[in-house]
Amino acid sequence: MEQKRGNLVLFQLGFRPFFLAAGIVSFLFMSIWAALYSFGWAYTFPRMSSIHWHAHEMLFGYGMAVIAGFLLTAVGNWTGQPALKGTGLMLPFSLWVAARMASILDLPFTPWVMLICDMGFWFLVSLAVMKPILRVKQWRQTGIMAKLILLGGANLAFYAGIMGWFADGIRWGLYGGLYLIIGLVLTMGRRVIPFFTEHGVGYPVQLKNWLWLDLSAIVVFLLFFVWELLYPGSKVSAHFALVLFVLHILRVSGWLTNGIWKRPLLWSLFAAYFFMISGFLIHAGSRYFGWNPFLAVHAFAMGGIGVITLSMMARVSLGHTGRSIHEPPPKLTVALTMIVIGVFFRVFFPLAWPQDYRLWIGIAQGLWIGAFGVYLILYFPILTRPRIDGLPG
């Protein structure tokens, strides 16, 4: 019995296979992207440019793996219902792996394999997340369910674009996916960052939140999202972005306390939040002053999504394997510091010194690869071995 449990330990809960695979894909696919962009390696991807491959795989490959791992694990805690595990977890994971492998094979049928596997993965994960929520009528999770559904639509739009079915599908898919993931991260960040901070700094503190600000941020982000998709390049979305920057600066000002700087699993969350909201400011600047719009994209993607997902994977993996979240592996600080420094090279250095753009990107790529390399070394044994307290999970 114990041997059987050991063989299936990787599929005891959703975070285990998906957080491990997310780290592997992040490391390998960024290495491929560095070879293509910084070292001039020539390679043909199925019906898409290398830039579109990079964007799609970081959003719908890496990003969706982290989202799946987090939600499949969290939904059991939220609802008290059994979480997906064992052979039931193997199927969506296998489909996700097949889609990632297909993405680097330039064969005539590859886009179809990617489409079928990616959408099958999304459907099974959505079903596993939404079914227990609906069963217990936990309507406060409606926003998360809606974003999960729309993420499937965004990925489908991307595939419709590369198949030639929808002329604007690639843009709708990639930018829709980016902003939906940012919206999901902001939603979860509003819940967990103040909670983690109050329970993690080691002294009593009550952080400030304002209902009017929460509601305003949701409404303005929705306007920004819709306007940016329907009217790309419009200054109206820049106005919304500037308002979002101000709103989120006010929000995070109510969360700051000195104790966060001593905890890598806290300061990394605040760093990610800062990078995300700086993305709104840079987006506005791209319309007002002609700044490079891809700097805003990477403030969101590398700074926001990249940093917060690495931090959350590290935290969740500790907590759900019986380890203390207050005592992460010492070398984890190295990984988090590398990716944070990498954001400065990818976003802020090119903004200040655009003449060395390719150099900054190359350094940022190396720091990302290094950060996830350290993560894999530290967390491979944590994710593949049973809980240290002997409990299931």
What is the per-residue pLDDT for 3? 37
63: DSSP letter: I
**pLDDT tens-place string over residues 280-321:** 999 999 999 999 999 999 999 999 999 999 999 999 999 999
Instruction: Tell me the backbone φ, ψ of residue 45, rounded to 5 degrees.
Output: -100, 155
Give pLDDT, residue 93.
98
pLDDT digits (tens, 9 = 90+) for 251-266: 999 999 999 999 999 9
Contact yes or no for 386/6 (Cβ under 8 A): yes
Nearby residues of 331 by Cβ (< 8 Å), 6 or more positions away: 374, 377, 378
Q: What is the mean pLDDT of residues 48-62?
A: 97
Question: What is the pLDDT, as a whole number, of residue 106?
Answer: 82
Q: Which residues contact 285 (CB under 8 A, 6 or more apart)?
A: 291, 296
pLDDT tens track for 327-363: 999 999 999 999 999 999 999 999 999 999 999 999 9
Dist. CA 179–CA 84, nearest whole Å: 27
pLDDT at position 126, please? Answer: 98
- Tell me whether residue 76 is exposed, middle or buried, using C-beta atoms within 10 angstroms of its C-beta: 0 to 12, 13 to 18, 19 or more: middle
Question: What's the pTM?
Answer: 0.95
Query: Within a 10 A sphere around the Cβ of 1, how many other Cβ atoms?
Result: 5
What is the overall mean pLDDT for the chain?
95
CB 335 within 8 A of CB 378: yes
Q: What is the pLDDT of residues 115-155, one digit of tens each?
A: 999 999 999 999 999 999 999 999 999 999 999 999 999 99
Q: Is 97 exposed, middle or buried (0-12, 13-18, 19+ CB in 10 A)?
A: middle
Return the pLDDT at 1.
Answer: 38
Residue 6 pLDDT? 47
Domains and CATH numbers, the chain: 2-384 (1.20.210.10)
Quick one: what percent of the chain has pLDDT higher than 70? 98
Phi, psi dihedral angles at 284 (to 5 degrees): -60, -45
Is the pLDDT at 7 greater than 90? The verdict is no
User: How does pLDDT run across 66-106, given as a tens digit for each residue?
Assistant: 999 999 999 999 999 999 999 999 999 999 999 999 999 88
Q: Give phi and psi for 385, each to the nearest 5.
A: -115, 155
Question: Of 118, 185, 125, 128, whose CA–CA distance to 154 is shortest?
Answer: 118
Residue 17 has pLDDT above 50, yes or no: yes
Predicted confidence (pLDDT) per residue in 230-248, tens digit: 999 899 999 999 999 999 9
For residue 48, list its beta bridge partners: 45
Sorting pLDDT into bands at 50, 70 and 90, what band is 53? very high
